[in-house]
């Protein structure tokens, strides 16, 4: 269990490579909607690699920016255990969207969940940190955004969703936020947790902020 908690995003990176290889060599016959939902899941895996490995540093940035924690940002409210659960539970939802690709309101809700990253990475984090980049921004802009636009254009252009589907999609988005973010973080927050975020992540957070500060302002 400890190995998974500390390496889940690396496991996700390997899964991403395996999926890419399978798609290239197997060339499965799928609908455009299915392809977009698979790409959306692969984008999630790439997004998590960017946040936690290349360049990494996202855990303490999230604690600092989203939860306004400065003194215990290496362990509170998010810690290694809750971070693992937050991200791997998202895998389940994204995989379900692929398996049930014809439940278009659910797929749209998952797409909304991906686009929701724009608010955090594109706006909140950069504004509060006064930076032009934060870990996860690149995959949000260059993967989640175009995939999301393509999915919405596809399901609307092919008349696959109705007015109620939009409502159910929004409810799905809210459910994803509660299940994969709020519940794990709030139920496992502990200032004395043993699941402290690694010093490497803390160091990388500081390096990224110094590198990406607008105008070269000091941290």
At residue 176's C-alpha, the angle toward residues 174 and 181, to 5°, is: 105
Query: Is the N-terminal amide bond of 77 cis, ω within 30° of 0?
Result: yes
Tell me the per-residue pLDDT of 128-161, one tens digit each, with 9 for 90 and over.
999 999 999 999 999 999 999 999 999 999 999 9
Q: Cβ contacts of residue 198 below 8 Å, gap of 6+? A: 6, 80
User: What's the CA gap between 164 and 212, in Å, rounded?
Assistant: 42
Name the pTM for this structure.
0.96
Which one, of 111, 116, 110, 114, lies nearest residue 66 by Cα? 116
CA end-to-end span of the chain, whole Å? 36
User: What's the CA gap between 159 and 101, in Å, rounded?
Assistant: 15
pLDDT in 10s for each residue of the chain, 219 residues: 889 999 999 999 999 999 999 999 999 999 999 999 999 999 999 999 999 999 999 999 999 999 999 899 999 999 999 999 999 999 999 999 999 999 999 999 999 999 999 999 999 999 999 999 999 999 999 999 999 999 999 999 999 999 999 999 999 999 999 999 999 999 999 999 999 999 999 999 999 999 999 875 544
Per-residue pLDDT at 219 = 47
Q: Cβ contacts of residue 78 below 8 Å, gap of 6+? A: 59, 62, 63, 67, 86, 185, 189, 197
């Amino acid at each position: 269990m400890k190995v998974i908690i500390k390496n889940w995003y690396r496991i996700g990176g390997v899964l991403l490579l395996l999926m890419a290889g399978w798609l290239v060599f197997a060339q499965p016959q799928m609908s455009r909607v299915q392809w977009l939902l698979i790409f959306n899941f692969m984008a999630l895996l790439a997004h998590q690699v960017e946040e936690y490995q290349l360049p990494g540093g996202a855990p303490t940035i999230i604690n600092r920016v989203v939860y306004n924690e400065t003194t215990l940002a290496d362990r509170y409210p998010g810690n290694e255990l809750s971070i693992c659960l937050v991200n791997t539970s998202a895998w389940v939802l994204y995989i379900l969207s692929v398996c049930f690709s014809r439940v278009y309101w659910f797929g749209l809700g998952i797409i909304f969940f991906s686009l929701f990253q724009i608010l955090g990475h594109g706006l909140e984090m950069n504004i509060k940190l006064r930076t032009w980049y934060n870990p996860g921004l690149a995959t949000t802009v260059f993967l989640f955004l175009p995939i999301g636009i393509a999915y919405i254009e596809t399901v609307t252009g092919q008349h696959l969703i109705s007015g109620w589907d939009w409502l159910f999609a929004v409810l799905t988005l809210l459910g994803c936020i509660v299940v994969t973010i709020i519940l794990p973080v709030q139920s496992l927050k502990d200032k004395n947790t043993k699941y402290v975020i690694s010093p490497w992540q803390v160091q990388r957070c500081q390096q990224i902020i110094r590198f990406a500060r607008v105008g070269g302002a000091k941290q």
